[in-house]
Structure 1
Amino acid sequence: MFVLGQPELVDEVRDAGLDVVDDGVADVVVAAYDDRITFDRLTRALRAFGPGTVFVATNRDRSTPEPDGLVPGAGATVGAVEGMTGHDPLVVGKPETRLGEIAAETLGISLDGCLMVGDNVHTDILMAERAGIDSAFVRTGVSSEADVESTGIRPTHVLDSLADLPSLF
């Protein structure tokens, strides 16, 4: 498996008992948030693709909030790999619902009793919509109220900050 992502993700993959390669063709290429992108690392990701290689994306977040402003999210890495290879990824995180389903199953609860809280209408709130669960959009992050209006994705609740979350219960 070739991982284009943060060192912590590489550690998680190894901790799961999977082999990670740095060069050569891989069975699976994973693209995730990666603040260490270089031309060399992108080249190695491109060369990791062979016949039958599966392309997996952790998520498609276009950007991520940092204290000094937005920075490119996992979507930047995923988009670079898509652009180089022409392969569509299997997205395992938001906005797909599988991780939410796994979390609910692990906790022994049903999804309809969950609340998705997030600041990104394109991933967090869309995941909730797809899963059929309530959502709380927090106005402190990536998406704006205008984004909510223009997408047609409607959160159940809109909050000014995470501090307002207790008001929902």
Structure 2
Amino acid sequence: MTPAINSAKHAGIAFQLHEYEHDAAAHSYGLEAAEKLGVAAKQVFKTLVVTLDGKQLAVGIVPVTSHLELKQIAKAAGAKKAAMAAPEDVERTTGYVLGGVSPLGQKKRLPTYIDDSAQMLSTLYVSAGRRGLEIELSPSDLAMLCQGCFAALATTLS
């Protein structure tokens, strides 16, 4: 059990776990998850941690087929600028290793922003707290569990 799974269980929401054999050589953890689970890549979301105005950490959740727009997450958070957080800050604050960072059950609850494309889906997949393990849940349950809000955060990768 990971803290993410425990968080979902404790909340009593409907969810499904999906496990696959993670390939350490995979270039993109999220695209690997979509391929190995046989689901549309636009349904699999990655959890990214940013630093707002050089001091506050926040979480951005975007489809693996997209790029997090730093200006957009800064705007959604009411900050002037955002930058990707240092890997050691991400792991220390969330309690998860890179490639397995879940928006659920983090050691420290961070302000969380979910790309508004999630609202078009009945369910989406996010990391369940380790590489090779995804949790499928509704976008509204995700937002409720991480006290997140929806905002335009991403641009599709070409």
| TM > 0.5 fold call | no
Select the structure that is richer in helix. Answer: 1
Give the structure with higher Rg (CA).
1
**In which range does the TM-score fall when normalised by the shorter chain?**
under 0.3
Select the structure that is richer in strand. Answer: 2
